Amino acid sequence: MVNYLAIEGEEIRTFSEKGVIRKGRILIKDGKIAKVGREIDIPASAKTVAGEVVVPGLIDAHTHLGICPIESSDRQPPGVDASDPVSPHLRVVDGLNPFDEGFKDALSGGITTAVVSAGSPLSWAMMVEAVTIMPGQNAVVKMNGRILNERSGVKMAVGEHPKRFLESLKIPPTTRMGIISVIRSYLEKAKLYTDKEIPETEKEKPKLEAIIPLLKGEYPAHIHVHTVRDILSVLRLSEEYMFNPVLVHATESHMVAEKLAERKVSVVFGPVIFPRRGRELMNLTAKTPGLLEEKGVLFTISTDHPASPIQYLLINVGLAEAEGLRDGLRTVTVNAAKIAGVFDRVGNIEPGKDGDIAIFDGDPTEIDSKVTYTIVDGSIEYRGG
């Protein structure tokens, strides 16, 4: 039996060639978008919902959803294996909790897809951020529990946060130079291992095999980084080994926006709503997204859930719009899908894409607008009110 869902919107922002459609319709067939337009036929068997503003399902490109709970008594967050500072072979899907309340919270905010990252969120209370040099592999997950990609990139971290965390554990390296050196050594080992120039060892084999796809360009490195000096170190390293870096948090990325645009380096900025806690965050500002947009950098905004609750993604976007960002919704739909490597499936409203839709009762980035429906794969997963 074919399942149809029809959506009628006073305003449909497709982020496709069709642009904005006034008083338009979307037909979803068996979980996929089949038709979009003003004059489209709706089968009699279709269930119909309606709303004011219809947009693609929102995407948060950096979270710890389902891997780091909001409240935890664990001394170390579950997304960090403190016994080994280099563990790129670990996969967050192997520790994912599909019953995390954050999935419901995400749906209430119109979020349909998220990148779940190894490591830990920025903390409001911990004296030391718990993040190792290579904590594991990210995954792209839908809020109905469906996994789009269980190996979407290797997570790395540089700068003060991993340095201080390793110091607290009394595990080397404990300097910026040392952290970059360790990353370089594993990139070199993986390169030699690919060329069969070094013998296999059982302990190193899974680590190197996790890094090889990075060197082949099959997925990027999502790199926790804040300051300009660390961003420049990452750029040099990525040039040296020809891998694709995605800068996560990237607090001072606006200071080198032209260089990032020139290198076509993507940025996952955020959370915007966070205190300037410690030297890494001294230059945190909601102006950064607007400056990145102005220079042509491909970027998105994230909550780093649970550092900032995932359902407030659009509040982060709205604050950036108040400080100069022009097209905030595009950053958490089209841009986020491209950075997450899933734009062939989600990110805009056009035939063939997954039926992921968020419906609002007003302009989505206005503080008083509410989500009325969140639809994932053509199924209503959240109904406001």
**Contact call for residues 64 and 77 (beta carbons, < 8 A):** yes
pLDDT mean by block of 10 residues, the chain; 385 residues: 94 97 97 96 95 98 90 63 93 94 97 95 71 95 97 96 89 94 96 74 86 97 97 98 97 98 97 87 96 98 95 97 97 98 98 98 95 98 92
pLDDT of residue 124: 63
Among 272, 269, 278, 259, which Cα is nearest to 339's? 269
Report the predicted TM-score, pTM, of the whole model to 2 decimal places. Answer: 0.95
Domains and CATH numbers, the chain: 4-55+348-383 (2.30.40.10), 58-340 (3.20.20.140)
Residue 160 burial (10 A CB sphere; 0-12, 13-18, 19+): middle
pLDDT of residue 75: 54
**Contact call for residues 78 and 95 (beta carbons, < 8 A):** yes
DSSP state of 276: -
**Contact call for residues 137 and 154 (beta carbons, < 8 A):** yes
Q: Euclidean distance between the first and final Cα of the chain, in Å?
A: 31
Each residue's pLDDT tens digit, 17-47: 999 999 999 999 999 999 999 989 999 999 9
pLDDT of residue 256: 98
Among 226, 233, 249, which Cα is nearest to 164's? 226
Q: Which residues of 163-187 are buried (b: 16+ CB within 10 A; e: fewer)?
A: bbbbeebeeebbebeebbebbeebb
